[in-house]
Amino acid sequence: LLERLADERGRDGLRGVGLSLPGPVDVEAGVVDLPSRMPGWNGFPVASWLTERFGLPAVVDNDANCMAAGEQTVQDPGRRQTITIKAGSAIGAGIVIDGRLYRGATGSAGDITHVRIDAAGDTPCSCGNTGCLETVASGAALVRILSDAGVDVSSTADVVRLASDAHPEATRAVRLAGRYLGEVLAANVNFFNPDAVYLGGILSTLDPFIAAVRSQLYESCHPLMTQHLVIEPVSLGADAGLVGAGQFALQRGLAASLEELSAPIPQSTTRNRNVRV
């Protein structure tokens, strides 16, 4: 697909390749690192594979990080401390500190999907643990919960469609998911004191989900934390992650060009006496 897009757009104008992936990523190595929902990807050298395939600088990052970076470019520049949530099949968070994306010591900052929550009980999670937020608040969890209740759903998109049509059980499940996410997010807001919380991913297209997250944050956070806190869907919608991945690709491409320009120019050992400078 990438090769077809490159051919359609013209490869002469390409400067780099950026890829957003739903799992932990070692950005420097360009490798997916112990993903819980991506069987067969662990340790695969994604960035070097892309570079070899396209002959261009390539960068790979977590989808929530890409979303946070993309959203930061179009939001009020005065909001320099933000948390961007990606609520889809799984849940992730991208953190911006002083206007810059924060990845943490091992690149896993913001992995709130595996925070334990009482409501999850001993429900097994894809990470191998039990009781994770992902098991009660993610799109995959909603599919499981509604299917067990006899509702005909097979994907997160089905859940969103039903909730958008005011299906009672789907709407209730979505509200509970937003509440559970808000519980975990409240601890982060109280600790971090951000300017804004942006909600992205397919679940963020549902008003009941947004309302439940917002309500839980106001209920659980200290008033000083929510006094000026902005809580809203990502303005870029589904394109937020693409914008971030494109940014990272452009930055990597520019860095490669600068390195090429700063390389020493080979000097001839024979002086041409007929040339004046």
CA distances to 11, 65, 73, 173 from 15, rounded to whole Å, are 9, 21, 20, 44
pLDDT reported for residue 150: 96
pLDDT reported for residue 258: 86
Residue 235 is classified by DSSP as: T
The CATH number given to whatever domain includes residue 17 is 3.30.420.40
- The verdict on residue 13 lying in a domain is yes
- The verdict on residue 267 lying in a domain is no
Same-domain check for residues 102 and 40: no
The angle at the Cα of 207, spanning 201 to 213, to the nearest 5 degrees, equals 75
**AA letter at 26:** D
- The verdict on residue 269 lying in a domain is no
Helix, strand, coil % in the chain, rounded to nearest 5: 50, 15, 35
Same-domain check for residues 150 and 50: no
Same-domain check for residues 97 and 172: yes
- The verdict on residue 255 lying in a domain is yes
The 10 Å CB-count burial string (b at 16+, else e) for 61-79 is bbbbbbbbbbbbeebeeeb
pLDDT reported for residue 12: 85
Same-domain check for residues 229 and 244: no
Same-domain check for residues 95 and 195: yes
pLDDT reported for residue 219: 97
Same-domain check for residues 29 and 84: no
pLDDT reported for residue 11: 84
Domain containing residue 23 = 2-64+239-262
Q: Give Cβ neighbours of residue 161 (< 8 Å, ≥ 6 apart).
A: none
Same-domain check for residues 248 and 150: no
The 10 Å CB-count burial string (b at 16+, else e) for 14-24 is bebbbbbbbbb
pLDDT reported for residue 275: 44
Tens digits of per-residue pLDDT, 4-19? 988 888 888 888 999 9
CA-based torsion, 229, 235, 239, 243: positive or negative: negative
- The verdict on residue 268 lying in a domain is no
Same-domain check for residues 132 and 220: yes
* pLDDT < 70 positions in the chain: 265-277
pLDDT reported for residue 277: 42
Same-domain check for residues 221 and 138: yes
Same-domain check for residues 21 and 58: yes
Same-domain check for residues 40 and 112: no
Cross-strand partners of 137: none
pLDDT reported for residue 265: 66
Number of domains the chain contains: 2
- The verdict on residue 39 lying in a domain is yes
- The verdict on residue 202 lying in a domain is yes
Same-domain check for residues 24 and 140: no
pLDDT reported for residue 260: 80
- The verdict on residue 272 lying in a domain is no
